[in-house]
Structure 1
């Protein structure tokens, strides 16, 4: 009888431990951000808070530096539930939420303060249902900063740019920008850009300052023009498949773990400024547009804006006025 009781107790203990193990959830949390960057720091802080908020019942296994694929591939994996949480760029998300490309319309934004205000106070509620419709739970905005032009030679005036073969990002706003500037845009993935410059296939392109410096692009195309002609945001999202499997308490553990994005923005922007300064100190050529030159760029590109908006598809025609309203509300 004692042996029987011991066996029952052991079985009950084993069942309890198995039940506890099954209750604990490990989420795949992916980014393309390299180690040691503000994005990784931000994500790590969120992962720690998820675990703390759930008393260890939910943990996040982190996959940085594109370990789970290119950004567009990871977006698709998140939709299918093979990645649970993803931090990625506007360009990548616009492959499934085309309306995100509206945030990259050239010369839309005047300042970071205007951008932050528009996204946080006006546009989160606009984009949340668009992401959900595609199987993604929008959690918060991300940040990459201003996009600048670069080349193997200075690209400062419209005459400098006219007819030059340049890399366009795989997003409609990038090709639209170069079309307005009179350049010959060649759509290329980021990974293929260095070799394209080396072979002379293209002579320049556009990138966030941090990406330009960190990739060593300045060694191949040493002229960086601080054009700030568009802003590259992004988002932190969760697979709706995963989200719907969580209890209300578990969902709250995740939303309450979101570290305010303003800290990430400040770090990214300060780091970008520092990297540009370091690039220049080490012999890189940094060109600043005069007010007249910038106005000439804007005058060349803005007339194509209506064409860009109508080409994006989805609900772009309905969302665009809301973005313009947000911009106006946040213009000081």
Structure 2
């Protein structure tokens, strides 16, 4: 009698275990199982709710959750709520933050020196030139440098072509910049850039820039039109000069710790979402440019389109020399050849 009871219990236990085992995988998070472990990823950035970072982050969240049937969810933390860009990169490296998107040529370049290339003035002709570089072998090679620094590189979203703004005067030539205190990103290429123009480079964290402009700590700054609009810098700046002196990509990375939590299928879905977001954001930002110019004009900003870019390019032609140890000459040659 006892043997029959024991046999019955064992049989029931095996049936129950088989039912709970799904596809038989020992790890529910592994690719190929009927179910995948749910993962929530924190994505931090320093932009406002309408900033380029957040336009991309919101679309990325939508796509990831759709492609993974909700097994991967994205928590967006904008407005520098989890720290500056420098702090976000540090958190990615130590594994306490899952994802971030930051300007590649800012403090990120202090970790991945090759990204300083995006701080070199007038290295890109136009958007087509930029995208041929970012979407091709050069972009892949730069991302390999990211991987070597113990981060998972996912892609390049857009910050955009950068323009000079200030609260003192209209700028059409390099001479007009002389003597101005201009906020720069915390990277030596930007100090060299402003020194070449005779300005006084002043490092200020992005999340503190509005107040620095408002209080006169700096006279001006340089950023793309969508940034000037989304961060409302037009409230504290009277002049925008369309210098288009550099292009900044938003490098999008994950911590290795976070990436390893995902199954292969989840990783593929996240990568696909990054790539689709890249195309979506580029189109969105290009379509918004005329609208932004109208907003600036409505707020009393003087927009200078007739800028002597050739003179600016000549005045800053030696800035690249300060990066001889960080940026290989072969990289510059490859970018030039991609025009």
Alignment gaps of 5+ in structure 1 = none
Post-superposition offset of 1:35: 2.4
Indicate the SS of the match to 1:94.
Answer: helix
- Which residue of structure 1 aligns with residue 323 of structure 2? 309
Alpha-carbon distance in 1 for matches of 2:174, 2:273: 47
Q: Answer 1 or 2: which has greater helix percent.
A: 1
Match of 1:185 among 191, 201, 209: 201
Query: Deviation of residue 279 (structure 1)?
Result: 0.8
1:116 maps to 2:131:
yes
Aligned pair 1:158/2:167, yes or no? Answer: no
Q: CA deviation at 1:201?
A: 3.3
CA deviation after TM superposition for structure 1 residue 245, in Å: 4.1
2:309 equivalent to 1:294: yes
Offset at residue 166 of structure 1 (A): 2.1
Contact kept in structure 2, 1:146 and 1:231, CA below 8 Å: yes
Query: What's the CA shift for 1:12?
Result: 6.5
Instruction: Compute the TM-score of the two structures, normalised by the length of structure 1.
Output: 0.84
Confirm or deny: 8 A CA contact 1:223 1:284 kept in the other structure. Answer: yes
SS in 1 for 2:245: strand
- Match of residue 283 from structure 2: 266
Q: How does the TM-score come out when normalised to structure 2?
A: 0.82
Give the 5 Å matches for 1:1-332: 23-37=37-51, 39-90=53-104, 91-154=106-169, 155-260=171-276, 261-290=278-307, 293-306=308-321, 308-310=322-324, 313=325, 316-318=326-328, 320-329=329-338, 331=339
1:173 and 1:51, CA in 2 relative to 1: closer, same or farther beyond 3 A?
same
- For 2:211 and 2:273, locate their aligned partners in 1 and report how far apart those are by CA, in whole Å: 41
CA separation of 1:129/1:46 partners in 2, compared to 1, >3 Å: closer, same or farther?
same
CA contact (8 A) 2:52 2:226 kept: no
1:22 deviates by 8.9
Q: Give unmatched runs, 5+ long, in structure 2.
A: 29-34
Q: Tell whether the 8 Å contact from 1:122 to 1:326 is kept in structure 2 after alignment.
A: no
Q: What per-residue deviation string (whole Å, max 9, x for no partner) do you get for residues 181-229 of structure 1?
A: 1112222223333443344332222122222233332232211111111
